[in-house]
Chain A
């Protein structure tokens, strides 16, 4: 039963023309009614009106589902708005933050730094939290026997940290780079490290792998583990990176738990 656009063509001369035209009109009304729920225009609900181009909308993300913007026009993926079970991150720029921000699970802090020797992360923390941290520097200098540190609570604590690192380099060198049980902060590495780190605040341990440069064409690979072995001071601020030289780059901090 095809839809007939403008079905009436009355000339007053053809036999049964009124009957034929009324039948075409009925057919068209039937077709139009089928566009509504229960084939009833009185329902005032058009079939499939909850999809756009065939996609449903929902605040619970899923494949082929449209997530609506919030009342402010922002794609809000925080836990209080979209109930996300999808592994995704919302970026928060903390480059110029002046107070600590409580990073939520699924949020990623972005901190860019330029020509500095220390970078406060400005991230509030507590026990039972797990972070991924990526540090990328834009320089390559020889920084032998001086180290990058992560200082929890933006402070040093005398003889409260254990650390070890081991390296391989493109000169064929393989060795311990450093080990100690009596450091004053999380010692990260010497030379110019670019690293990927997992940091957790309950056992207060970190693990990382990294590549480092040493002011020339040599590339090194390092692994490290660290532990803040005193738990008498609460860990409330994720900390500050300190560098033994002036540096630039960026840090990403993702909260996983």
Chain B
């Protein structure tokens, strides 16, 4: 897509017009061909398109943040198990700790599987060589 990038005269921020007539009158704009307006950057006083390496690094950060949020949502329903065990440990009640581990062994195994999967996903994201490979990584835990 084409964008017309300029520095807003009042706001002094980078703007990317999606239509040529959206550029404020009297403002000098740079016409750029990009995949998304997010690809444009104002760097050292110059408007330019992000390099592939910059885009990849940025998308990796987004993907890692998305993974973090997703894993938190998977773990939160069984957080009460950890709280109960931690409370028993604070009381030095080792018998209760063992009993709770036994009682909630399925939940604890599930949490362990989620954490292992999380580590694998982090590695896969960090190892992605290009945007296509990165975008192909679907964040979805299928373990039971």
Chain A interface residues (CB < 8 Å from chain B):
117-118, 120, 142, 144-146, 149, 151, 153-160, 171, 173-176, 178, 184-185, 230, 232-233, 237, 240, 242, 244
Contacts and interface: CB of A to CB of B under 8 A. Distances in A.
Contact of A154 (B10, B19, B38, B62): B19
A157 B8 contact: yes
Interface residues of B, number: 31
B13 interface: yes
Contacts, number: 79
17 contacts: A120-B19, A142-B138, A145-B63, A145-B66, A146-B36, A154-B19, A155-B17, A156-B14, A156-B15, A157-B11, A157-B13, A158-B13, A158-B42, A160-B13, A184-B37, A230-B11, A233-B8
Interface stretch (B68-76, B94-102, B103-111, B112-120): B68-76
B11 A154 contact: no
B53 interface: no
B69 A176 contact: yes
B25 interface: no
A156 B73 contact: no
Contacts of A149: 37
Pairs of residues from A and B, 8 with the lowest C-beta to C-beta distance, nearest first:
A175-B73, A154-B22, A158-B13, A158-B14, A156-B16, A156-B37, A154-B19, A155-B17
Contacts of B23: 155
Nearest to B77: A174
Contacts of A146: 36, 135
